[in-house]
Chains A and B, each alone.
Chain A
Amino acid sequence: MRRLHRGALLLALALLLPLLGGCLDSHEIETLAIVSGLAVDRGEEKTFRVTAELISSKNEQTSSLSVSAEGDTVYDCIRSLVSPAGKTLYLSHCKVGILSLDAAEEGLPSLVDWANRDTEGRLTMSLLLAEGRAADLFAEQPEAGTAVAFNIADSLNTGPSSVANLSIHNFIDLGVDVGKTPYAPVISLSEDGAPEVKKLSFLKENVPAGLLSGEELLYFSLLRRDGGRRTLTVKNDRGAYTVELKPERSDFQFSHEDGGLQFRFDYQLGAELVDISYPFDPHDEDAVARMEVEIECVVKNGLKALAARSQSEFQLDIAGLGSVIYRKEPAFFESVRERYSELYRNAAFSFDTRVTLRGTGVSGVTVFAGERGEAN
C-alpha cells in the first residue's frame, strides 16, 4: 500500500510537470534577437514606427543593428519587427524605451500599456522622451563592444541626476498614485552626438505638458524631497563657485484656511564647496556665513520661481504635493479632488532654507599659481 501510495504520488507529479511546466517555451539562445532598446516615433504611413536596437552576436566584438517597423499600436509594430529581425525578438533585456515627444502626443499609454501587459518586457526598463526622432539615438554607431541602449542605461544609473532614471514601473506608479504628476526624463543628442539627459517633461492627461531643465531639476528634486545630492553653481560679483547640496532635513506642512491651500517648506541643507574661482578662506567665519546666506537666497529664489512656474505655466502639481495631502488628510483631499488643480494654482508657497557649509575639500584655502590671493 505504501509503495502504491508513493507510486501514485510520483505519477501525479509526473503528470503535473507537462501541464504546469513550459516545455513549449523552450528557445535556443542563439535563435533569439536580443533587444537592447526600443524607440517609438510617429509613423509615416501608420500611427507608430518602432525601431529596435538588436544585439548582434555574429562578430567577435558585440555590435548592434537597428530594425524598424510601422503599425497602429506599439504591439503591432513589435510583432512586425520579427520579419526584418529574422529571429524571435527577446525583450527581457530591453533597457530603455524611448518615445519621441511627437509620438508621445499620440498617447504615451501605447508603449507603457504594452510594457505593462507583456510577459517578457521588464517594468524596470527606463522610460525616456526624446526631442526630435527617437530612432536617431540608435543611428549613432556605438563604440565596439557596446550597444547604444546599454550606454544610455549605464549613463542613467551613474549620471548626476537621479530624476533621469525613471523605470516604467515607477512611471505607472506616478500615474496611478493619487495626487502625483507623471513625468519622464527627456533625452537628446549633444553637439558631439552623445545622448544626454538634461531635461524633464511633465505629462498632463498622458501628453507632454512642460519641460524643466538645468538648475530647475535641482529645485524640482528639493520640492519632491527625494534626498539626493545636487550641485549648484552660484555666481556673484567676485566670481562663481559650485557647491554640492545634500538635504539633511526637509519638512513639508500644508494647511487649508479660508478655502485655499498654504504650503510651507523647511529645508536644512548641507553644502560642500567643490570649486571656487576667487580666494576664499574657510576659517573665516564671516566669509562662511556670507556664503551660506548667499546659497540660501539662491535656493529660496529658485524654489519660489519653480513653484510659480508650476502654478502659472504648467498648472500642474509637479512635486506631487497632493499625494502628501491625500495621505495625511484623505477626507479633505477627496472633498477637493475635482478642483484640486485650481486650488494648487492659487496656493501660497513659503520656503525656509538653512544652509550649513560642511566641507571645503582637502585644501581649505584657495590656491593660485605664483602667489596666494587675498581671502574675502
Chain B
Amino acid sequence: MQKSEFHKSAARNIRMVQDLFEGDATLKVRTLRAGENPGCTCALLFLDGLVNVTVLNDAVLQPLSKLPKVQPGRSMMDAVKESGLFISFYNEITTLDELKSEIMLGSTLLFVDGSDSCLAVDTKGWSARAISEPESERVLRGPREGFVETMMVNVSMIRRRLATTDLKFELQKLGRVTRTNLCICYIKGLVEPGVLRELKRRLGRVSYDSVVDSNYINELIRDNPRSPFRTINTTERPDVVAAKLLEGRIAVVVDGSPVVLTLPCLYSELMQSPDDYYLNYYYASFGRLMRMFSAFLCYSVPAIYLALITFHQELIPTPLLISIAKAREGVPLPSVLEALILLLAFDLLRETGVRTPASIGQALSIVGALVLGQSAVEARFVSAPMIIVVAISGVTSLIVPRISGALDLIKYPLLILSSLFGLYGYAAGFITVLAILYSMNSFGVPYMAYSSMLGVKYWQDIYLRAPWPKIKRRPFFSRNRDRYEKEVD
C-alpha cells in the first residue's frame, strides 16, 4: 500500500496545503468539530469558485456537524465516511499529486484528525455554458446540441447516444502545468487496435507544459504537421462524434474545449456535413457534389481566370474577351496584383467580420461592399470581372468550412504560378497539391482513401450519400465492417 504523504494532524495538513497554494487567495479553509467528538477536528479545503457551496453546506458541513459520538477504537475517518457525508461520490487520496488534481477539479478536501488520508469530496459546481447549437456547424434538420467546455458533460452527451457497454472512455491528463483532463472514446470491436495504440503512443510522448484547447493536442500528435489540410477532424456536435465512433473512429474529448477531435481523418470527410444524414439522400447527394465543386472553384477560379486573361486569351469566347478587355481598360495594376489585393482585402473583411461586435457588423459590411465593390470599380482601381472572381472564390470557401483554411492558403501559390506560367503553372501547382494529399496519412490510414477509388460501391458515402439501407459496410479501417447483423435483401 502506498505510503501517505499527509499527516495525521489536520492542522499540519492545512499548513501543508496553504504552503502549496501560497499567494492564492481563492483557497478557503474551514475547520469544524466533528459533531459530538470534541477532540477531533475536521478541516475542509476548497478553491472558491469551483465548488457548489450549497452541496458543500448540505452534503458535507451539515452531516459532519451532526456526527454522532464515535465509539472508542473505531477510526474517525471510517465514521465520517459512513455517516458524515451525504454525497454520492468521494475519493480517498494519499498523495499530493492527487490532492492538487482533485482540488483543481472542484473537489473539497476533507482532513480528519487522526487519519493520514484525505477525502476528496465531489462538490464540483463551477459556472458552465448552457448546451446550445454550435455556431460553426448549424444544420437545417437534426439535433441542436453542441459540446460545452466541461469534459464530463460532453462525455455524457456521447454516452446517451451510444447505449452499449462496448463504448469505452479512457481518462488521461496532459500538460505539466495545466494537467488537462482528456478522454479517449472508442467502441471496442469497431476500432482498429493499431490506431488506438498509435494514438496512445503519441499522447504519451506529449511533454508540453500546457494544453488549453483540443487544438494543442491536435497539433502535437497529428500527421503531416506542416500541411494546411487537417489530418485530425474536429466537431462540436455529439451526434457527429457518435456517428464517427460507429464507423470505427476514435474521439478525444478535452476538458475546457467544446471541440472534440476524431481520428483517423480522411479527405472525403471534409466534404461531409451533418445535414447529409438528416435530409433526403437526393438532396444530400446534390449538396455534397456542390461542396466538392465549390472546393474546386475556391482555389481554381482566381488562378484559371488569371491564366486565361494573361496567357490564354484564345480560350476565352470572343464576346467575353471583349467585355473583360473593356473592364480592364484604364486599370493601373497588373492583373496578378489586382487579384492578390482583392483576395487579401476579402480575407481581411472576413476576419474583421468574425471579430466585430454584431452591432457594427452591418455597417461594416455596407462599407466593405461599397468600398470594394462599387467605388473601386468606378475609380478604375480594380476591374469588375476580378471582383466577381474573388467573390466566387470567397463565397465558395465558406461552403466547406472544414477545409476553408487550407483552400485559402493554397489559392495564393496557385495564383502566383498561374501568373508566371499560365495554365501550365496552375496544372503543375494542382498536381503538386494532389501529390502532397496522396502522400499524407492519418494514423496509418491513407488520407485520400476512397477519393480515388473507382467503383460505385466506394462512393456510397463519399461523392454521394446512398440511402441508409444501401450503406451496409463501415470504412475499411474499422475492425468490423458489417453494419447489419445478417444480410438484408
Contact = CB atoms under 8 A, between A and B. Distances in A.
A92 B328 contact: no
Contacts of B421: 17-18, 21-23
A28 B424 contact: no
A26 B311 contact: yes
Taking chain A's interface residues, is the majority helix, strand, or loop, or is none over half, making it mixed?
Answer: mixed
B329 A30 contact: yes
A93 B329 contact: no
Interface string B400-431: 00000000000000000101111011001000
A3 to B, nearest CB: 11
A223 interface: no
B310 A29 contact: yes
Contacts of A104: none
A17 B321 CA distance: 27
B234 to A, nearest CB: 28
Nearest to A91: B314
B325 interface: yes
A57 B311 CA distance: 19
A20 B420 CA distance: 12
Contacts of B433: none
B205 interface: no
Contact of A34 (B325, B335, B425, B428): B325
Contacts of B322: 34, 55, 57, 62
A93 B424 CA distance: 22
Contacts, number: 82
A92 B314 CA distance: 5
Given A27-B310, A29-B321, A21 B334 contact: no
A120 interface: yes
A150 B428 CA distance: 36
B325 A30 contact: yes
A21 B313 contact: no
B321 A28 contact: no
B415 to A, nearest CB: 14
A58 B326 CA distance: 6
Contacts of B335: 28-29
Nearest to B385: A29
Interface size, B (range): 20 to 34
A113 B59 CA distance: 102
A249 to B, nearest CB: 38
Nearest to B420: A23
Given A21-B420, A28-B335, A58 B329 contact: yes
Contacts of B420: 17-18, 21, 23, 26
B452 to A, nearest CB: 19
Contacts of B425: 17, 21
B157 interface: no
A28 B310 contact: yes
Interface string B310-341: 11011000100110111011110011000000
B313 A27 contact: yes
B331 A30 contact: yes
A29 B424 contact: no
Interface string A52-93: 000101100010000000000000000000000000001011
Given A17-B425, A32-B313, 19 more contacts: A13-B428, A17-B417, A18-B421, A21-B420, A21-B421, A22-B311, A22-B421, A26-B422, A28-B309, A29-B325, A34-B321, A34-B322, A55-B322, A57-B322, A90-B313, A92-B313, A92-B314, A93-B314, A122-B314
Interface of A: 6, 10, 13, 16-18, 20-23, 25-30, 32, 34, 36, 55, 57-58, 62, 90, 92-93, 95, 120, 122, 150
Interface of B: 309-311, 313-314, 318, 321-322, 324-326, 328-331, 334-335, 417, 419-422, 424-425, 428, 432, 439
Closest A-B pairs by Cβ, 3 of them: A21-B421, A92-B314, A57-B326
